[in-house]
Amino acid sequence: MRRGVLARLVAVGLAAAAVTTAVALFVPWLPTPASKQADRIDFVFWFVTGISIAIFALVAAVILYSVVRFRARPDDDSDGAPIHGNTTLEIVWTAVPAVLVTAVAVVSAVALAQNGHVPKKHMRVNVLAQQFAWSFSYPKYQGLTVSQLRMPIGEAVQLKMHSKDVIHSFWVPEFGQKQDLVPGIETNVVITPKRLGTYPIVCTELCGEGHALMRSEAVVMKPAAFAAWVKEQETLAAKAAQGPAGGGPGLAAFNNNGCSACHTYKPAGSTGTTGPDLDNLPADARRAGKPLVAFVHESIVDPNAYIEKGYQPNIMPSTFKSLPKAQLDALVKFLIQGQK
Ligand code: CUA
């Protein structure tokens, strides 16, 4: 190969590499990682992207050069010179990709193994998914149950995940990992948050009509702020247990069944907006033309019987008809006693 040809190939290749590198770097393809695990996933992405850019540049250079240099002239319809393969070239273009693919496999396997590792010092959080809500409980703090995932920065958190009904999938884009929640088995995922902030939790498995609404938030806090939040929640729970609003078992049923994720209800301190505000139940019952207690009971076990104006049917799970009677009664009592 003449030196001029090589120089032109290299020039075209560098130009192609520059354009693709700019596309890779300046388009925000991935969210900024907020966990150590996301960092490792990003590393795999960039490793593969680097290899892809190099190969694209090489192929683009050879193709562009050949298209220009060997194009057919208007008066030339002769055949090209006969060529009978090139063993060296074939060995090279087989061996190099084999090495690259193996490297990608090894780097991915290492990242996967590291992300699956549960450090000795970690906090456990139980995740329960159901149509169409998330709830998170902290065994370390007497089973404190909330609808928003809160974590102190820098500490590994192991999520042990269960589904009550169908397959859901837990995903926080900034944490990188996705994990299915499958009825009947326990799945888990480890998150070591490294950036303060509030990130969306998304269900990424089509799980029914309310799938698009099955969202929550993951909040990464400073350790001191997290400790203060835990204390505040424990005080709230203790207060609710003694308070006039039925407290104890009713509040527990409210939180454990994910009601707080979708409904605003002052006595429970919840602020969800997916379903109607539960602070105005007597007015809702009047509109439905039913006595309050019967209305509340029916709305839990047969949510589609009456749909509040501005809301859609089939969003609230119809699984609550299987709640144990004691829990159901406590829940109804809790909801009635909190009314003005
Ligand atoms: Cu749960 Cu989609």
- Is the Cβ atom of 239 under 6 angstroms away from ligand 1? no
Q: Which of ligand 1's atoms lies nearest the C-alpha of 168?
A: 1
- pLDDT (0 to 100) of residue 242: 64
Of 8 and 37, the one with more pLDDT:
37
Strand 187-191: give its sheet, edge to edge.
144-146, 133-138, 123-130, 157-163, 187-191
| 201 CA from centroid of ligand 1 (Å) | 11
In short, whether 213's Cβ falls inside 6 Å of ligand 1 is no
Cβ pair 217, 139 in contact under 8 A = no
- What is the spatial distance between Cα 313 and Cα 303, in angstroms, rounded to a whole number? 8
Indicate whether residue 207 lines ligand 1 (CB < 6 A): yes
Q: How many domains does the chain have?
A: 3
Q: How far apart are CA 108 and CA 114, in angstroms?
A: 10
Residue 311 sits in a domain of what CATH number? 1.10.760.10
194 falls within a domain: yes
Report the pLDDT value the prediction gives residue 182, as an integer from 0 to 100.
Answer: 96
Query: Looking at residue 245, what is its pLDDT?
Result: 47
Ligand 1 nearest-atom number relative to CA 166: 1
281: in domain: yes
What pLDDT, in 10s, does the model give residues 255-304? 777 788 788 888 887 888 888 888 888 888 888 888 888 888 888 888 88
Domain assignment present for 79: no
Does pTM top 0.75 for this prediction?
A: no
Residue 178 CB–ligand 1 contact under 6 Å: no
Closest ligand 1 atom to residue 212 Cα is: 2
pLDDT at 322 > cutoff 50: yes
Question: Does the structure show a pLDDT above 90 at 123?
Answer: yes
Taking the C-alpha atoms of residue 152 and residue 154, their distance in angstroms, rounded to an integer, is 7
More confident residue, 238 or 184: 184
The 10s digit of each residue's pLDDT in 129-158 is 998 889 999 998 888 888 899 999 999 999
Rg of the chain, C-alpha, whole Å: 29
Higher pLDDT, 340 or 165: 165
Can you tell me which atom of ligand 1 is nearest the CA of 169?
1
Domain containing residue 129: CATH number = 2.60.40.420
- Shared domain check, 54 and 27: yes
Rounded to the nearest integer, the mean pLDDT of the chain is: 89
Within a domain: 7: yes
**Does residue 73 lie in a domain region?**
no
Residue 205 Cα: closest atom of ligand 1: 2
Is residue 23 domain-resident?
yes
Residue-by-residue DSSP string for 228-280: HHHHHHHHHHHHHHHSSS--HHHHHHHHHTTHHHH-EEGGGTEE--SS--GGG
- Measured in Å, residue 214 CA sits from the centre of ligand 1 at 6
Q: Cα of 172 to ligand 1 centre, how many Å?
A: 13
Phi-psi region of 184 (alpha: psi -120 to 50; beta: other; left: phi over 0): left
168/191 Cα distance (integer angstroms): 18
Task: Determine if ligand 1 sits within 6 Å of the CB of residue 205.
Answer: yes
Mean per-residue pLDDT, 75-80: 81
**Does residue 247 have a pLDDT over 80?**
no
Query: What number does the ligand 1 atom closest to the CA of 167 have?
Result: 1
Report percent pLDDT > 70 for the chain. Answer: 97
Per-residue pLDDT at 230: 92
Residue 5 has pLDDT above 50, yes or no: yes
- Looking at the domain assignment, is residue 228 inside a domain? no
Q: Which residue has the higher pLDDT, 63 or 325?
A: 63
pLDDT of residue 308: 85
- The answer, yes or no, to whether residue 224 has pLDDT greater than 70, is yes
**Is the same domain home to 214 and 262?**
no
Residue range(s) defining the domain that contains residue 59: 3-65+88-116
Based on the fold, state whether residues 255 and 206 are members of the same structural domain: no
Which residue lies with its CA nearest to atom 1 of ligand 1?
168
Ligand 1 lined by 174 (C-beta under 6 Å): no
Same domain, 7 and 102: yes
The pLDDT tens digits of the residues spanning 18-36 come to: 999 999 999 988 899 999 9
Q: Tell me: the pLDDT tens digits for 192-212?
A: 999 999 999 999 999 988 899
Buried b (16+ CB within 10 A) or exposed e, 102-117: eeeeeeeeebeeebee
Are residues 203 and 211 in contact, defined by beta-carbon separation less than 8 angstroms? yes
**CB 214 near ligand 1, within 6 Å:** yes
> What pLDDT score was predicted for residue 284?
86
Greater confidence, 318 or 305?
305
Number of H helices and number of E strands within the chain?
A: 9, 12
Report whether residue 164 contacts ligand 1, using a CB cutoff of 6 Å: no
* C-alpha of residue 188 to centroid of ligand 1, in Å: 17
- The sign of the dihedral angle between the CA atoms of 219, 221, 223, 224 is negative
Q: Which whole number is the average pLDDT over 314-334?
A: 82
Letter string b/e over residues 258-279, b meaning 16 or more CB atoms within 10 A of that residue's CB:
bbbbbbbbebbbbebebbbbbb
56 within a domain of the structure (yes/no): yes
Same domain, 40 and 99: yes
